[in-house]
Structure 1
Amino acid sequence: MRIVLAGSTGVIGRRLEPFLTARGHEVIGLARNGPLAVDVLDRDAVVAAVRDARPDVVMHQLTSLSTGDLAANARLRRDGTRNLVDAALAAGVRRIVAQSIAWAYEPGADPATEETPLDLGAEEPRQTSVAGVAALESAVREVPEWVVLRYGTLYGPDTWYARDGLMAQFAAAGRVPADADVSSLLHVDDAVAAAVAALEWPAGVVNVCDDEPAAASQWVPAFCAAAGVPAPPVTAGERHGWARGASNQFARRHVGWVPTHRSWRKGFATL
């Protein structure tokens, strides 16, 4: 297949391209400083680039996270995705695989499933991120065959949660709480493997995360130990209702995806 990989210079995109090429796919990287040098916020440029590439599939792995500016990332999800979907439709592309997140769900007691609604009533600053996710997923659904990968919190090389990553720096400064909020984590290599597999998955939303949602009071000290920085004190109190983690049971049962790093407990050893 000919695949336009949007976000080819990102953390996932850099790993994804050689995996796809090794499987016989022809990959055209699209990024601001990629082989197809395009600013995804420039609609006309995106439409022209995708038209000229003539892809069978668009792979959407666009993020804007290097500076930690969540508003900029939400704009990319909203406006960049809109441009990418319009370009795909204009070029007759029938399939898109897009990156989303697994922590935009509404509050609840248990790990969220794919049937759990998004937290559209969230207050700021969370509202900005959730609205960006909702816009991304709504646009992607316009393509005839679509898969949305709701990734857990990424860790591993070049992510925020690496030995030299942003969150290791924050943790060293005492800015990463070890509280009751629950997260589902995902090794970056498992994110890449899921994106490759999703080329063959039926249309729909899939939570892509490890097997063990956990409170920050459990996983943050383990991350700090792996990153070689002091762990913060564990703090008491109730979790935020939306900080519930996500279930990967749909991925296991219906599309046969199982993470190689099944728990952050062992996955952090790779740091």
Structure 2
Amino acid sequence: MRIAVAGATGAIGQPLIPMLLAAGHEVTGFTRRPEKAAELKRLGMRAVVLDALDRDSVFAAVREAEPETVIHQLTSLGERDFGSNSRIRIEGTRNLVDAALAAGARRMIAQSICWAYAPGEGPASEEEPLDLDAPPPRSATIQGVHALESAAADMPEAVILRYGLFYGPGTWYARDGFMADQARLGALPATDGTASFVHVDDAARAALLALDWPSGAVNIADDRPAPGSEWLPYYAALLGAPAPERQPGAARGERGADNAKARRLGWQPRYADWRDGFAATLG
């Protein structure tokens, strides 16, 4: 299959590209960083330096790639630029979808998040609504997610991967990542808010499998949603960081996600429990 991967050198793109090539697909990778394009080429694939917000460039790149499927893994989260990330979700996704449609692509697999659901009891399933009534500042995140998912749904076939919090190489939760630094500073309170995690390798494997999944949203998270009062002390201890301060309460929407649908579709995470994944990547 001819596949274009937008965000090919990001935290998910890096493990995903070798999986796609090993499966025999013809892959074109889009990246914002010229120095990363050389790495993609060394893997034996086409690489294009591309700004997703440059609509004309996106159309030209997708037209040349002639993909049957576009995998959208674009973010600006590595730089913690939330304004840019919102623009990518809204404008970048619109550009990518319109270019894919113009080039005759049928399928899009798009990166979304699983903590955008409306408040409720227990881990959220895909049938539950997004938190479209959220107040600021959460509303900016939800609006970006809604725009991304709505644009992707304009494709003839669209699989929306609502990922849990990424951990593993190249993420905020890596030993050299932002959250690890915050934990060492004692700046992360252990709250009652529930989170769902997913290792980047398991997230990438879901994107590979999604090439054959039916259209719709799918939560990609491990089996064990956990409150901050449980996962954060464990994480801090692995880092050698001080025990976090306990802070009762939870932020809106911190309820975790149910991964039953992904498992029915055949996804089996290597790290079904964040404790095992944290120990393997940080221990």
Aligned to 1:136: 148
Q: Distance in 1 between matches of 2:227 and 2:197?
A: 11
TM superposition shift of 1:228: 2.6
Aligned to 1:20: 20
TM superposition shift of 1:7: 0.2
Residue 240 of structure 1 aligns to a residue whose secondary structure is coil
Alignment of 1:118-267 (within 5 A): 118-236=130-248, 238-253=249-264, 255-267=265-277
Residues 158-167 or 221-230, more deviating: 221-230
Aligned to 2:57: 45
* Alpha carbons 2:8, 2:14 under 8 Å: kept: yes
Q: Distance in 2 between matches of 1:158 and 1:37?
A: 20
Residue 11 of structure 1 aligns to a residue whose secondary structure is coil
Q: Distance in 1 between matches of 2:15 and 2:143?
A: 28
Q: Distance in 2 between matches of 1:131 and 1:31?
A: 25
Deviations 1:34-61 (A, max 9, x none): 3211100000100011001111110101
* Alpha carbons 2:78, 2:171 under 8 Å: kept: no
Residue 79 of structure 2 aligns to a residue whose secondary structure is coil
TM superposition shift of 1:161: 0.5
Residues 13-22 or 63-72, more deviating: 63-72
* Alpha carbons 2:132, 2:143 under 8 Å: kept: yes
- Structure 1 residue runs of 4 or more that deviate by more than 3 Å after TM superposition: none
TM superposition shift of 1:74: 1.2
TM superposition shift of 1:227: 2.4
* Alpha carbons 2:184, 2:239 under 8 Å: kept: no
Q: Distance in 1 between matches of 2:139 and 2:127?
A: 20
Q: Distance in 2 between matches of 1:41 and 1:95?
A: 21
Alignment of 1:56-67 (within 5 A): 56-67=68-79
Residue 66 of structure 1 aligns to a residue whose secondary structure is helix
Residue 77 of structure 2 aligns to a residue whose secondary structure is coil
TM superposition shift of 1:67: 2.2
Deviations 1:119-153 (A, max 9, x none): 11111111111111000000000000110000000
Task: Normalising by structure 1, report the TM-score.
Answer: 0.97
Q: Distance in 2 between matches of 1:86 and 1:129?
A: 22
Instruction: Provide structure 1 residue ranges, at least 5 long, that are not aligned to the other structure.
Output: none
* Alpha carbons 1:105, 1:119 under 8 Å: kept: yes
Between the two proteins, what is the percent identity of the paired residues?
A: 55
Instruction: Provide structure 2 residue ranges, at least 5 long, that are not aligned to the other structure.
Output: 38-46
Residues 206-215 or 165-174, more deviating: 165-174
TM superposition shift of 1:241: 4.0
Q: Is 1:268 matched with 2:278?
A: yes
* Alpha carbons 1:21, 1:27 under 8 Å: kept: yes
* Alpha carbons 2:188, 2:245 under 8 Å: kept: no
Deviations 1:149-178 (A, max 9, x none): 000001111100011111001111222121
Q: How many residues align?
A: 269
* Alpha carbons 1:156, 1:270 under 8 Å: kept: no
* Alpha carbons 1:109, 1:241 under 8 Å: kept: no
Q: Distance in 2 between matches of 1:159 and 1:4?
A: 23
Residues 226-235 or 239-248, more deviating: 226-235
TM superposition shift of 1:231: 2.5
Deviations 1:215-267 (A, max 9, x none): 0010011111222322212222x3234110010011112x1212110111111
Q: Distance in 2 between matches of 1:223 and 1:198?
A: 30
* Alpha carbons 2:195, 2:256 under 8 Å: kept: yes
- RMSD (Å), alpha carbons: 1.0
Task: Normalising by structure 2, report the TM-score.
Answer: 0.93
